[in-house]
Structure 1
Amino acid sequence: MTVALKAKDRRNHPLLAEGLMLFFPAAALYAMLSPLMWVTLFGFALPFARAIPSTQWHAHEMIFGTYGAALAGFLTSAVAEWTDTPPRKGRTLIVLLLLWLPGRIVGLLGIEPLVGLAGLTDVAFLSMLFWFVLAPLLERRSTRHASFAVWACLFVLLEAGIRIAWLVEEFDLAGRLLQTSLYVFLVFFALAVARINIVVINLALDPSGNTTPYRPHPGRQNLAASMVAIFAATALVFPNSQVASYLALAAAAAFFDRLAEWFIGAAVLRTQVLALAGANAFAGGGFLLIGLSGLGAPIAIGSGVHMLAVGSLGLAVTAVFVIAGLRHTGRPLILPRAAHAAIALMACAGLVRVLPELGIGETLIGMHYAVAALLWSSAFGVWFIGFIPLFLKPLRHEGCQ
């Protein structure tokens, strides 16, 4: 009887109640650890990496490691709300986490002999996540959120493609697939924020939640995501064409246009509102730099890519961790100090990583990699320390989608 009760208690643990309760802390822990080890312990190299460039390992673990876990937490919780189906919980989440974990150990150290094995577990992890998105849509016979299933399926294909490219030493192709994976995350970000922002802005305008004075502009909801998708496909298939550069500028314009949705008066000064606006601004700036670089401007394309990876997605993920972390533990959207600090640190990480390469703060050149990595790790560390007590003692469940 005692053993049975203990097993039941483990299944009912707060961190196993829904996907974000487990995967947001996992993503934060990995985000804290990986840059610190890469910069401070390994000196921008990896102990077992030989043929595969360390920069590609680094990019892969940021995208499929940290952001992959964040995506798993978001989708396993949000899709259940969108479709009014039971959330994934308990042992199912543990299995999903165990599929995610081997790739992180291999990627953290760059263990090349295990590239294939880690690829199998990562593909299994993403395939399981894809099914968790698709199954509720099939159950409800709904196509409203089918785009998330399509993009989740694309992640499976991209991960498989990257691993195969590594195994056959096609590193140029692997690099293009990694960039495409980053752009697909930007599509997810654009689609998700179009939904989250409605709740966040309405609560900023009326904290009581009794009224919903804000209505999003229908034309802006999917425009940025669509432009990123067209750009990503063109850049992958025609890497040397200037057409992709013009499409990058169009994607930048779409993200900058979305900033009009934050013209809501003094309520825009709330940290959670600024964070989502800032993530859009970083996205617009990143695509602007990529477009200008491709058209011959003296700008490294890597500056634009890092503005997207660190600035836009880093800030967006931190904001979602804060917003969903409060709402899904039954707390009002009143940010604790840890939330303000985490968002500020992540914004600084994005700026420090890119601005010195654009001639602003050039004295940091060379050091800016390490400083940005420390700020990035600190942002997730502050969030984890501030929010894990809330996750362990939720008050009640209150969705935010």
Structure 2
Amino acid sequence: MTKPGTKTGTKTKTKIGGWRCPDKRAMTHEGLRLFFPLAATHAALWPFLWVLQGLDLVFANTVPPALWHGYEMVIGAFGAALLGFIATTVPEWTGATRPGGRLLFALAGLWLCGRLVGLLGAEALIIPGALADGAWLLWMVWFVLRASFARRTTSLIGFGFWLALLAGAALCTRWGFLTGDIEAASLALRLAIYAFLGLLGLTMARIVPAITNLVLDPTRETTPFRPHPGRRRLAPGLVALVFAGELAGLSPEVTAYLLIAAGAAFLDRLAEQFIGREAFRAEIIALGLSAGFAGLGLVLAGAARLGAPFAETMALHLTLMGGLGMAVLGVFSIAGLLHTARPLGLGWSARLAIALLTGATLLRVVPGLGLMPFPPGPAHLAESLLWAAAFALWLKAYLPIFWYEGEATDGGG
């Protein structure tokens, strides 16, 4: 995602009362302009609202609220981010026709239907929610594979593979919700997490070298950074073994070592962050934290299965909040600049958002490791506030340049 976009349209705004209506052409100029703000809004609100409900949901009876919470974060918040990423980068990488206008709004409507069901844990609406989520998830699979076939390229096959696994795991999770098979739903949700990590590994293999070279040489005339080719597919390959092992029902000890190996592969990517003083650039730090948190969380999850004195769910929170969450926030911030024709260089809002998200992750995980007491107040309130503040700051900085064309903000550079 390093090819700058172009600004389109005019600065004319329509006002309703004191509120300016978003420019529809700006919102659908690229998929990220619509779905990144939707993902950030959901990511900011859902955990906080869940905490306000006392970690419960109004209409959840058979399905544990914690499973709804996990599904909504993985498929809801991160899913919208993935949808915007795929709708934007696949045309950029292949030259395929860029989706826009009514199609993007239709996909957003399907995504929103699923989120309304999950907001209250409405078990009576599980089927409509599953159909809505299945539609936009399978659209991504079709879109990637169609572009790959049309351009006679195999570079996107891996993305199509992991997207298909993600769609299947999400639908199986919903099926477990519908039938009341909580064990099957829990397994399917873990598989969805692994599918997302596979996508993270593939995405980082393409994004990190491009961003690193742009940091080292903003003129784009040279490519001083060239990653080791053996690292490009190592992490997603080992995650695939974890996925297969879980699906095959291998013993906890075997899957524990597979988790540790996959985590080590993500941690190995940190070696690519040492590029001199530019390693302290916010963009490089965010991408490095994503790989580090994802890897450490997988290693700790494996250790928990081998008898370490902490819960596996705590380790998975490190992978999800720190690994996937930081990747999402980092891509939001970097792509938000490059795809609105702005130079790379994160403003104070994006930098503070990265710090807040790091704090939220540590506050969620460190007490579970016994390294500090749990913060006072309602359970998970403190970290949910930091998490919400991180994405709210990003929205404040980037929403104007996404939905109101031609308007820059501090956070945009």
TM-score by length of 2: 0.90
CA contact 2:23–2:404 (8 Å) conserved in 1? no
The answer to whether residue 249 in structure 2 is matched with residue 226 in structure 1 is no
Alignment-derived partner of residue 157 in structure 2: 146
CA contact 2:359–2:386 (8 Å) conserved in 1? yes
Q: State, as a whole percentage, how many aligned pairs show the same letter.
A: 42
- Quick one: distance in 1 between partners of 2:102 and 2:178? 33
RMSD over aligned Cα, in angstroms?
Answer: 1.9
- Quick one: distance in 2 between partners of 1:366 and 1:159? 33
The answer to whether residue 27 in structure 2 is matched with residue 15 in structure 1 is yes
Could you tell me which amino acid in structure 1 is paired with residue 188 of structure 2? L
Alignment-derived partner of residue 81 in structure 1: 92
Alignment-derived partner of residue 9 in structure 2: none
- Quick one: distance in 1 between partners of 2:78 and 2:165? 15
Alignment-derived partner of residue 372 in structure 2: 361
Which is richer in helix? 1
* Among 37, 46, 69, the residue aligned to 1:25: 37
Unaligned runs of 5+ in 1: 1-5, 397-401
Could you tell me which amino acid in structure 1 is paired with residue 30 of structure 2? E
Alignment-derived partner of residue 195 in structure 1: 206
The answer to whether residue 394 in structure 2 is matched with residue 387 in structure 1 is no
SS in structure 2 of the partner of residue 364 of structure 1: coil
CA contact 1:330–1:395 (8 Å) conserved in 2? no
Could you tell me which amino acid in structure 1 is paired with residue 255 of structure 2? A
- Quick one: distance in 2 between partners of 1:239 and 1:47? 36
Alignment-derived partner of residue 80 in structure 2: 69
Alignment-derived partner of residue 4 in structure 2: none
SS in structure 2 of the partner of residue 242 of structure 1: helix
Alignment-derived partner of residue 278 in structure 1: 289
Q: Any residues of structure 2 matched to 1:290-309 within 5 Å, and which?
A: 290-309=301-320
Q: Deviations over 1:19-67 (max 9, x none)?
A: 1110001111111221111112x11100111110000000000011001
- Quick one: distance in 2 between partners of 1:307 and 1:189? 15
Q: 1:175 to 1:29 in 2, by over 3 A?
A: same
Unaligned runs of 5+ in 2: 1-13, 15-20, 408-413
- Quick one: distance in 2 between partners of 1:355 and 1:205? 34
Q: Any residues of structure 2 matched to 1:19-168 within 5 Å, and which?
A: 19-40=31-52, 42-168=53-179
- Quick one: distance in 1 between partners of 2:116 and 2:209? 38
Deviation at 1:199, TM superposition (A): 1.7
* Among 265, 273, 276, the residue aligned to 1:265: 276
Could you tell me which amino acid in structure 1 is paired with residue 46 of structure 2? S
* Among 326, 331, 337, the residue aligned to 1:326: 337
Deviation at 1:259, TM superposition (A): 0.8
- Quick one: distance in 1 between partners of 2:218 and 2:193? 34
Deviation at 1:208, TM superposition (A): 3.1
Q: 1:24 to 1:304 in 2, by over 3 A?
A: same
Q: Deviations over 1:236-262 (max 9, x none)?
A: 332643110011111121111111111
Alignment-derived partner of residue 267 in structure 2: 256
- Quick one: distance in 2 between partners of 1:123 and 1:363? 38
Q: 1:143 to 1:395 in 2, by over 3 A?
A: farther
SS in structure 1 of the partner of residue 98 of structure 2: coil
Q: How many residue pairs are counted as aligned between the two chains?
A: 388
SS in structure 2 of the partner of residue 210 of structure 1: coil
Deviation at 1:228, TM superposition (A): 1.1
Could you tell me which amino acid in structure 1 is paired with residue 206 of structure 2? R
Could you tell me which amino acid in structure 1 is paired with residue 297 of structure 2? G
- Quick one: distance in 2 between partners of 1:86 and 1:363? 50
- Quick one: distance in 2 between partners of 1:112 and 1:118? 9
Q: 1:136 to 1:247 in 2, by over 3 A?
A: same
- Quick one: distance in 2 between partners of 1:87 and 1:206? 29
CA contact 1:352–1:372 (8 Å) conserved in 2? yes
* Among 237, 244, 257, the residue aligned to 1:246: 257
SS in structure 2 of the partner of residue 265 of structure 1: coil
SS in structure 1 of the partner of residue 366 of structure 2: helix
CA contact 1:283–1:312 (8 Å) conserved in 2? yes
CA contact 2:23–2:403 (8 Å) conserved in 1? no
Could you tell me which amino acid in structure 2 is paired with residue 164 of structure 1? W
Q: 1:301 to 1:12 in 2, by over 3 A?
A: closer
- Quick one: distance in 1 between partners of 2:240 and 2:357? 26
Deviant stretches of 4+, over 4 Å: 9-12, 365-368, 393-396
Could you tell me which amino acid in structure 2 is paired with residue 33 of structure 1? L
Could you tell me which amino acid in structure 1 is paired with residue 74 of structure 2? I
Structure with the bigger RCO (C-alpha within 8 Å, sep 6+) is 2
CA contact 1:331–1:395 (8 Å) conserved in 2? no
Alignment-derived partner of residue 195 in structure 2: 184
The answer to whether residue 345 in structure 2 is matched with residue 345 in structure 1 is no
CA contact 2:287–2:326 (8 Å) conserved in 1? yes
Deviation at 1:394, TM superposition (A): 4.7
